[in-house]
Structure 1
Amino acid sequence: MDNHVVGVLGGGQLGRMLVEAANRLNIKVAVLDGENAPAKQINLVASDKHVTGSFATASDVKELASRCDVLTYEIEHVDTKVLEELEEEKPFLDGTKWSRIQPSWKTVRTIQDKFTQKQHFAKFGISTAKSIAVGTSHPQGLKDIADQLGYPLMLKSRTEAYDGRGNFPVKSVSDIEPALKALANRPLYAEKWAHFKMELAVMVVKTAQEDSIDSWESITLGYPTVETIHEDSICKLVYVPPRGVSKNVVRAAQDLARRAVATFAGTGVFGVELFLLQDDTLVVNEVAPRPHNSGHYTIEACHMSQYEAQIRAILPDLASTIRPGSTDLAVSAAVMLNILGGPQPDSHLLVAKAALEIPGAKIHLYGKGDGRPGRKMGHITILGSSMSECEAKIHPLIQMVDAVRAHRTDSSPASAASIAATAADLQKTNPPPTRRPVVAVVMGSDTDLATLRPGLTILDTMDIPYEVHITSAHRTPQYMLDFGKAAAARGLKAIIAAAGGAAHLPGMMASETPVPVIGVPVKASSLDGLDSLLSIVQMPRGIPVATVGIGNSTNAAILAARIVGTSEAKVQDWVANHLQKMDDENMEKEYRLQREGWKIYKKLDS
């Protein structure tokens, strides 16, 4: 392993998880932060190299630089002037052309000023919301800008803003003076309101030092696109994969994030926040030059966590070892929930204790000491074979988090009991979300329902969530095609399609979706369903449709269960038990036949 010492500017929760990843690689990390910072609590190996101080103080940064080989960041609000001086004094690691500061201080300086960041992206054709610098604190100046951008708009601080702090929505002219007052004495810019339908995020690893948007595919790797839910301008939940988002959008988000990161100099992990607009186009909201809250799930859910990626990407001997596939999901689905402080110093522990009762819940507490309302104190990650499984498991913990938030101003000694009572009430009034269907059963006409009933009964028996639709290939072709296009994004893992006569439905559905389609030929009044069977089974090369016997929806249901069972152990167990049951029943018949003889056996069965 690389024997260089990594210096980290900042030692909060991100630094703590970075140290955990470095420890597993036997890499020393020196931290610049307060005496008992979370990252220092678990980092005794390099305790002689830690610096007690501030990442905003030049002398402290220089002291850290003297004790380590490579500098990186836990927070971007650092003094880039001193980093520039350090690079002038000694730009590279000894005997190499590898920069000592990763990513580059130039990158951090650009990102620190959010308006400069937007200008940077515009230069490279990266889509962002339109922004205009606010050069005056006079209301008329902002009113003139509003006339250009339109209402509503967002007034933002260019620097020192995070978790919604430094933002003020301006919905009408009456909000202008309050906005300027709230953000007084800050450099400001105005941003056109993004009418988004969802917030997405992508963690990106940059492994090459040069900045080149033309080489984005070779110098960056993207983690899965995630859906983020914010509350009080703080990230509350992260869902991966994002719910109800098409594969094309997921891929486009990754590509846009990677292109954006490729424009910056230096290596490391970057968090890219995006808006998914109403027309399914994407814009970059902002970028962080470090690991990010939206990437915590990677610790358990991906082959390589964002923290290990950060350590490896900034070191010359390890950056090249990050290969395509390293950032992929290792599970089918995951949900991450932030734990925030509440009214009492230990209110957040109520959430952690509740998580102890959830099988498989991964609890991370940050060692920050006393909590306070809105302070990030930890997170919980749930893994599952489906998003429905994850949602069901995380649901009671969301109610507890919401209860803590509801009592955040309750400073009475009995607040813990009040929080627990509120969580119990929320559980009653907010039932767990219904399980998302993983199988769709579609038919060309309601007359096909009789053929499908045995298969639907089997799906009920297996407790597989499913949905049933009439999607005629001839009478409602557009509806059928739209259904097929959206199937994968909705989490469907198999589609059973019944059709009679010309039986175009299964084949047309298969032409529009990557989800496996199982055709069920329906016996009609003429040709006994043979025409339907041949129509479904004789698909052109490249558009396969699994086909069962005429009218055999039972086999279609069991085949769908086998497909679902490749990622859901309970369903696979049902299929295995079903096979064993058939084996047992048949062997019992064999024993009877051998014991009684065929003449008696025949009489018994007659």
Structure 2
Amino acid sequence: MDRTVGLLGGGQLGQMLCEAANPLGVKVVILDAENSPAKQVNAKASHITGSFTDPEKIRELARQCDILTVEIEHVDTHVLEEIAEEGVEIQSADGKITRKKVQVQPNWKTLRTIQDKFLQKEHLTKHGVETAVSQAVESDKSGLERVGKELGFPFMLKARKDAYDGRGNFPVMSAQDIPDALEALKGRGLYAEKWASFKMELAVMVVKTSDNTLAYPAVETIHQDSICKLVYCPPRGISTQLQEKAQDLARKAVGSMWGNGVFGVELFVMEDETIILNEIAPRPHNSGHYTIEACPTMSQYKSQLLSILDIMPSFPGNKIPSLSPATVMLNILGGASKTSHNALVQSAVATPNAALHMYGKESKPARKIGHITLVAQTMAEAEKAMNPMIALADEMRMERLPAAQRIAAKATSMAKPASKAELQPLVAVTMGSDSDLPVLKPGLALLETLGVPYFVTITSAHRTPARMTDFAANAASNGFKVIIAAAGGAAHLPGMIAASTALPVIGVPVKGSTLDGMDSLLSIVQMPRGVPVATVAINNSINAALLAARILGSNDVELRQKLEKYAKDMESEVLGKAEKLEGAGWEKY
């Protein structure tokens, strides 16, 4: 490829872009500080040392390339507009001055619109993209008090420009917070955003070409201290339909912009399962690092290059698939000392299927200095392998936090163990009525003992048939591996669920007030050919839990060992009782 790409910014995103450019034979010239991460891996070109916000340095870069693109959006768009529309001056050997127009991708209009987050929100709303309600504000106490009355408390006060990783945001919980908010964000243009009560954060990488927009899979993002900590692909606990809705909304938003490139789109899943857009980054994104391993033939960095060169291939349905069934990405943030991350790095190197990416940056507290991506056949397998590294990252965080925050974080951790909260439920347990819960409690307790994560809900085959069908149809995409369904009386629930999913279903007949549960047992066990339901004895949720665990244990050595211990303990209990009976006699037993 004979066109040269000029890159504004040479951090870790630029580094990974250069790593993608090398096998393609694309020449990249970088404008940034000496020995920046991107320059460390690219010796194929003579780079420019200086600030990527310096107009003269940007013009110098433009003279050496055919296309300008960005690693960070905080650039001088007026210089980029000049270069794209009027050209940059070039002096020949004989002193003649000509002008050379250089493409800017994404277009400078897109960069300028996205730089100002309030203008970005106005643009998206104009094009029919759902976002949180926002409004411009006057930077004074009375102005914010008026916002509180109009939007309601709490609301989020945000800087319009130069804000990222939570910097430039201030939650205004009540009118008493207004003076602190104004002090924290003084001297900056501001806007207010209605509080978004969301249950999950998603992100979608979108590739825009001259005639199309393509979406990568939606991913779940977990933030801590306003910085992305973890990325899960696919997201845990939401339906395939909701993931596709996120992709469609992201494509719609990026499709309204100008020029080509890769865009990181951040979204919120609200409590009612509607999706709204948070914001867009006009470049590769932290949430898209996973694509290097999960989409090895088309990472987000390769897509950035091919899209700005306008040679991006097409994909069925305009969706770029992940080739990995399950992927988890963990950011490595600098610790209290420059060597705090060493144990985490060693753990990553020693973990099969884990890919370590270090950025060549000096370690500073909470600075992104690398990331780890782990691919697996199931999300449970990926989580299990990643959890020890997450624990090491948590230890680093605790060390770097100020003492007061450290105490609060420990108290929160003790009150709600993160491991259980973050594990993907593998067993879905449902019942026709809450009156069935006492029957299920022994089985749930056993799942707890075995360390099998589960999810419990109510889905009545007769009273909520649509909810039941939706639950069953989406069970696999929600990450469940086995379903336990308890029902009494006519007991249609297990069979109807089995008719709507390919997952194994275990039926628990519940003893009712008549017929001693035989009606339930026969309803569940007498399924027609082609729709199997594994059926346990009446009220025997213990066996249902054990059977679910055995199904999972076929691919989980650790769980299988727990089940073997459980059987051994039962054997020991029976032998102990036999010995006592034989020794004391039946009369005294």
- TM-score of the alignment, normalized to the shorter chain, above 0.5: yes
> Is 2:44 aligned against 1:62?
no
**TM-score (normalised: structure 1):** 0.75
The residue type equivalent to 2:226 in the other structure is S
Distance 2:207 2:550 in 1: 36
- Conserved 8 A contact 2:31-2:57: yes
Mean Cα deviation higher: 347-356 or 289-298: 347-356
What corresponds to 2:32 in structure 1? 33
> Is 2:193 aligned against 1:194?
no
Which residue of 137, 145, 150 maps to 1:148? 150
Q: Map residues 232-251 of structure 1 onto 2, 5 A cutoff.
A: 232-251=225-244
Distance 1:466 1:165 in 2: 36
**Distance verdict in 2 for CA 1:510–1:174, change over 3 Å:** same
**TM-score (normalised: structure 2):** 0.77
Distance 1:40 1:359 in 2: 29
The residue type equivalent to 1:252 in the other structure is K
Deviation of 1:261 after TM superposition, in Å, equals 0.5
- Conserved 8 A contact 2:66-2:102: no
Mean Cα deviation higher: 108-117 or 433-442: 433-442
**Distance verdict in 2 for CA 1:108–1:520, change over 3 Å:** same
Distance 2:488 2:547 in 1: 20
What corresponds to 1:119 in structure 2? 122
Per-residue deviation, residues 544-601 of structure 1 (Å, max 9, x unmatched): 73478999x9xx9999999989xx9669xx9xxxxxxxxxxxxxxxxxxxxxxxxxxx
Distance 2:190 2:425 in 1: 47
* Identical columns (%): 54
The residue type equivalent to 1:107 in the other structure is T
Distance 1:4 1:132 in 2: 43
Distance 1:562 1:325 in 2: 40
What corresponds to 2:295 in structure 1? 302
Deviation of 1:353 after TM superposition, in Å, equals 2.3
- The runs of 5 or more residues in structure 2 that have no matched partner are 89-100, 510-514, 561-589
What corresponds to 1:387 in structure 2? 379
What corresponds to 1:590 in structure 2? none
Distance 1:284 1:225 in 2: 13
Distance 1:123 1:336 in 2: 34
> Is 2:531 aligned against 1:545?
yes
**Distance verdict in 2 for CA 1:347–1:548, change over 3 Å:** closer
Distance 2:490 2:163 in 1: 62
Per-residue deviation, residues 466-519 of structure 1 (Å, max 9, x unmatched): 8899976458868755642552354123547699997743452145x4444568
- Conserved 8 A contact 2:355-2:372: yes
Distance 2:159 2:261 in 1: 26
- Conserved 8 A contact 2:240-2:477: yes
What corresponds to 1:376 in structure 2? 368
Deviation of 1:172 after TM superposition, in Å, equals 1.2
Q: Map residues 310-459 of structure 1 onto 2, 5 A cutoff.
A: 310-316=304-310, 318-320=311-313, 327-368=320-361, 370-408=362-400, 432-433=419-420, 436=424, 438=426
- Conserved 8 A contact 1:501-1:531: no
Per-residue deviation, residues 293-341 of structure 1 (Å, max 9, x unmatched): 111111111242111111111113x224566577212122111111111
**What SS does structure 1 have at the residue aligned with 2:30?**
strand
**What SS does structure 2 have at the residue aligned with 1:537?**
coil
**Distance verdict in 2 for CA 1:514–1:7, change over 3 Å:** farther
What corresponds to 2:472 in structure 1? 484
Q: Map residues 229-308 of structure 1 onto 2, 5 A cutoff.
A: 229-303=222-296, 304-308=298-302
Per-residue deviation, residues 48-105 of structure 1 (Å, max 9, x unmatched): 2x111111011111111111111111000011111111112359xxxxxx97211111
- Conserved 8 A contact 2:216-2:321: yes
**Distance verdict in 2 for CA 1:43–1:562, change over 3 Å:** farther
What corresponds to 1:225 in structure 2? 218
Distance 1:151 1:506 in 2: 45
- Conserved 8 A contact 2:525-2:533: no
The residue type equivalent to 2:245 in the other structure is A
- Conserved 8 A contact 1:268-1:313: yes
Deviation of 1:111 after TM superposition, in Å, equals 0.2
Give RMSD over aligned pairs. Answer: 4.5
**What SS does structure 1 have at the residue aligned with 2:103?**
coil
Distance 1:334 1:548 in 2: 31
Deviation of 1:3 after TM superposition, in Å, equals 2.6
Distance 1:174 1:234 in 2: 26
Distance 1:382 1:259 in 2: 30
Deviation of 1:119 after TM superposition, in Å, equals 0.5
- Conserved 8 A contact 1:506-1:545: no
Per-residue deviation, residues 388-441 of structure 1 (Å, max 9, x unmatched): 222222222222222222222689xxxxxxx9xx99xx99x9685496554557
> Is 2:86 aligned against 1:74?
no
**Distance verdict in 2 for CA 1:145–1:493, change over 3 Å:** same
Distance 1:172 1:108 in 2: 34
Distance 1:284 1:234 in 2: 18
The residue type equivalent to 1:391 in the other structure is E
Mean Cα deviation higher: 527-536 or 266-275: 527-536
What corresponds to 1:597 in structure 2? none
Deviation of 1:528 after TM superposition, in Å, equals 12
Deviation of 1:248 after TM superposition, in Å, equals 2.3
**What SS does structure 2 have at the residue aligned with 1:536?**
coil
- Conserved 8 A contact 2:507-2:533: yes
Distance 2:461 2:352 in 1: 44
The residue type equivalent to 2:178 in the other structure is I
**Distance verdict in 2 for CA 1:489–1:140, change over 3 Å:** same
Mean Cα deviation higher: 433-442 or 176-185: 433-442
What corresponds to 2:174 in structure 1? 172
**Distance verdict in 2 for CA 1:206–1:509, change over 3 Å:** same
Deviation of 1:145 after TM superposition, in Å, equals 2.0
Q: Map residues 125-144 of structure 1 onto 2, 5 A cutoff.
A: 125-134=128-137, 136-144=138-146
**Distance verdict in 2 for CA 1:365–1:324, change over 3 Å:** farther
**What SS does structure 2 have at the residue aligned with 1:294?**
helix
Distance 1:175 1:534 in 2: 61
The residue type equivalent to 1:305 in the other structure is S
Per-residue deviation, residues 158-210 of structure 1 (Å, max 9, x unmatched): 1111111111111111211221121111111111111112211111111226x
**What SS does structure 1 have at the residue aligned with 2:400?**
coil
**Distance verdict in 2 for CA 1:366–1:518, change over 3 Å:** same
